[in-house]
A and B are shown apart, each in its own frame.
Chain A
Amino acid sequence: MKLMKHRSIQAVMVMLAMLWAGSASAELLIRVTEGRVDAVPIAVVPFAGAQGAPEDVSQIVEADLHRSGQFKPLPAEDMLSRPSNESEMIYRDFRVLGMEYVVTGSMKALESGGYEVKYALFDVSRQVKLLEESYRPPASQLRDVAHAISDRIYEQLTGIPGAFSTKILYVTYNRNDGKNPYQLQYADADGHRVTTILRSKEPIMSPTWSPDGRKVAYVSFENKGLPSIYVHELATTQRERVSSFKGINGAPDWSPDGQKLALTLSRDGNPEIYMLDLNTKALTRLTQHYGIDTEPRWLPDGKSLVFTSSRSGGPQIYKLNINDKSVRRVSFQGAYNARSDVTPDGRYLVYVHRRNGSFNVGVQDLQRGTFNIVTRTDMDESPSVAPNGSMVIYGTQDGGTGVLQAVSIDGRVKVELPSKEGEVREPAWSPFL
């Protein structure tokens, strides 16, 4: 976020949202299918001076807050007044409508071709201004500014950093594209600004972000139909093939320090978890079992991994201590638990759980030992946790087509991201960027 603004925008927000795109031209509509019953009433007043600008910042902020499921924005036509700054603010006009917070702002075109964007956040019952900031972005960064404002507001009101300024990486599949049916893409967390990273005739799988958000790793079968793992720098599009052993090369996951990849190789005849040092290319085998070991995911401490293993029969989640290579089973409910992700605080494991033939996303609280199924869809897979730990995005099916959906960790908010064309699968939520 190299925006010209007064403070660092890093943080922020939380949750959610998303959208998707089946192809660069097909952005998806997001629909909140379940919000919280206690969603906070907020009025995002249309910003003055937005007419003619390439992006309407207040509309983007309102959509961000709405998609979080935690806020219920007031329709603009219901507003009694439309203040653009503190001097025009009439608290009474919003109090009678039951609003708890109000966002005002303005946009002004600058001679440089950029914009000045100002906004303020007000607490209606206390009649105080909570935030007031301004930004001077080039026109091309208005969306970034809007998401940054959403992040600031979200954090101010929930205490949790917002994740509206993050990206989602995913694979699309379009069977009607005979040349390049598989594509690797990423987009803003609200589904806009789709960028295609790779197009291929052969499958692309298991995309994942580096901890600094500058690179991605993935599995591609582009080389004679055989799987290889690539590390791909987004800004330069330079990439390096880091693993192409005989057999499976799969399930890459970056260590928290960015120096290593955990991955699955079957070079010794059976899928095992390995650790690849990206600098020295040294390879360390971490598991030793004739069952299937795959889908490693680093825990935030960088000293342990969780992974999927069939060593007890069906797939279950295990934890591996990298130092002494000791392994301990973590999941115990049901006969199928696989492909885990971990919240940034290390408290919750999120994984695919089979129940009565249906595959759902389950959340295991490692502190309290509880386990909850948080989705009601079927055929769910590839859950990926937002960097603020609030939401999980995952792949599922709608009408036989692969789509992405998001759900809050507590299962109370559900967001649908219907795809217009082709299938969308294997979402990976970026770190804070």
Chain B
Amino acid sequence: MRSFLNPLFALMLAAVLAACSSTPAEDDSSATTAPEPTDTSPVTPVEPAEPVKPDTSSIPLTADNFYNHPSNYDGTTDSRVIYFAFDSNTVPAAAFETLRAHATYLKNNSNAKVRLEGHADERGTREYNVALSERRSQAVEKFLRVQGVSSSQIEVVSYGEEKPAASGHSEMDWAKNRRVEINYTAGTP
């Protein structure tokens, strides 16, 4: 049941977020100060409290599915890296539970602060990649804000391709480098 419902919900939310993130943010007042009215909790599936690790052994990890692979996210605040598909700033469905855990923690601990560090793979020009990685950080920021996290608890930094997590040059290295790192600067869980 869980494994069926969750992805469905995830897809819906992904669609909503994608629409959100492509909305022009020209007027920053509307983009950053208006509280997001949507509370997604009504559609959160009712689940047993005991976390059930999905069996991911049957899904081979590839460069193509890396960003959305369940093995990259444990659904708790222990997961601190969100990955992205090539040329995409859409938050992957597999990361939703993890991000909701961070959001819950931040809401319950108003002293806690996170820095969202956006990164790109090495392909393309450096400054353009800085801009692309900012979109990824902003997508994660938007997700947390939608969950009710205060903007004062979130800082966004964009490094482009300057701080790769993997130093190689394969598709898999690139998949590991297209990411947003959630770094707690105060009140680390």
A-side interface residues toward B, CB under 8 Å?
A: 175, 203, 205-206, 221, 225-227, 247-248, 250-251, 264, 266, 268-271, 288-290, 292, 294-295, 308, 310, 315, 336, 338-339, 352, 354, 359, 379, 381-382, 397, 400, 426
Contact across chains for B157 and A338 when beta carbons are under 8 A apart? no
Answer whether A271 and B134 are a contact pair too, CB < 8 Å, given A203-B163, A225-B157, A226-B157: yes
Contact across chains for B127 and A205 when beta carbons are under 8 A apart? yes
User: 17 A-B residue contacts at CB 8 Å?
Assistant: A205-B130, A205-B162, A221-B159, A225-B115, A247-B134, A247-B156, A264-B127, A270-B25, A270-B26, A292-B128, A292-B131, A292-B132, A294-B127, A308-B125, A308-B128, A397-B169, A426-B126
Report the contact-size class of chain B (Cβ under 8 Å from the partner): 20 to 34
Query: Does B124 make an interface contact (CB < 8 A)?
Result: yes
Q: Please, how many angstroms separate the alpha-carbon atoms of A235 and B127 in the complex?
A: 28
Q: Please, how many angstroms separate the alpha-carbon atoms of A269 and B160 in the complex?
A: 16
Query: Does B167 make an interface contact (CB < 8 A)?
Result: yes
Contact across chains for A175 and B167 when beta carbons are under 8 A apart? yes
Query: Does B31 make an interface contact (CB < 8 A)?
Result: yes
Query: Does B24 make an interface contact (CB < 8 A)?
Result: yes
Query: Does B158 make an interface contact (CB < 8 A)?
Result: yes
Contact across chains for B26 and A295 when beta carbons are under 8 A apart? no
Contact across chains for A359 and B127 when beta carbons are under 8 A apart? no
Contact across chains for B26 and A338 when beta carbons are under 8 A apart? no
A247 to nearest B CB, angstroms?
A: 7
Q: Which residues of A contact B126 (CB under 8 A)?
A: 205-206, 339, 381-382, 426
Residue of B nearest to A402 (CB): B122
Q: Which residues of B contact A175 (CB under 8 A)?
A: 167
B-side interface residues toward A, CB under 8 Å?
A: 23-26, 28, 31-32, 115, 117, 122-128, 130-132, 134-135, 138, 156-160, 162-163, 167-169
Q: Please, how many angstroms separate the alpha-carbon atoms of A397 and B169 in the complex?
A: 10
Q: Please, how many angstroms separate the alpha-carbon atoms of A431 and B123 in the complex?
A: 29
Residue of B nearest to A383 (CB): B125
Q: Which residues of B contact A294 (CB under 8 A)?
A: 127-128, 130-131
Residue of B nearest to A296 (CB): B127
Contact across chains for A248 and B158 when beta carbons are under 8 A apart? yes
Contact across chains for B128 and A269 when beta carbons are under 8 A apart? no
Q: Which of A226, A248, A310 contacts B130 (CB 8 A)?
A: A248
B179 to nearest A CB, angstroms?
A: 16
Q: Which residues of A contact B25 (CB under 8 A)?
A: 269-270, 290
B165 to nearest A CB, angstroms?
A: 12
Contact across chains for A295 and B134 when beta carbons are under 8 A apart? no
Contact across chains for B159 and A271 when beta carbons are under 8 A apart? no
Contact across chains for B128 and A338 when beta carbons are under 8 A apart? yes
Contact across chains for A206 and B134 when beta carbons are under 8 A apart? no
Contact across chains for A381 and B125 when beta carbons are under 8 A apart? yes
A181 to nearest B CB, angstroms?
A: 10
Contact across chains for B123 and A379 when beta carbons are under 8 A apart? yes
Contact across chains for B162 and A400 when beta carbons are under 8 A apart? no
Q: Please, how many angstroms separate the alpha-carbon atoms of A226 and B156 in the complex?
A: 9
Q: Which residues of B contact A225 (CB under 8 A)?
A: 115, 117, 157
Q: Please, how many angstroms separate the alpha-carbon atoms of A294 and B134 in the complex?
A: 13
Contact across chains for B167 and A315 when beta carbons are under 8 A apart? no
Residue of A nearest to B158 (CB): A248
B145 to nearest A CB, angstroms?
A: 13
Answer whether A339 and B123 are a contact pair too, CB < 8 Å, given A247-B156, A290-B25, A400-B169: no
Q: Which residues of A contact B163 (CB under 8 A)?
A: 203
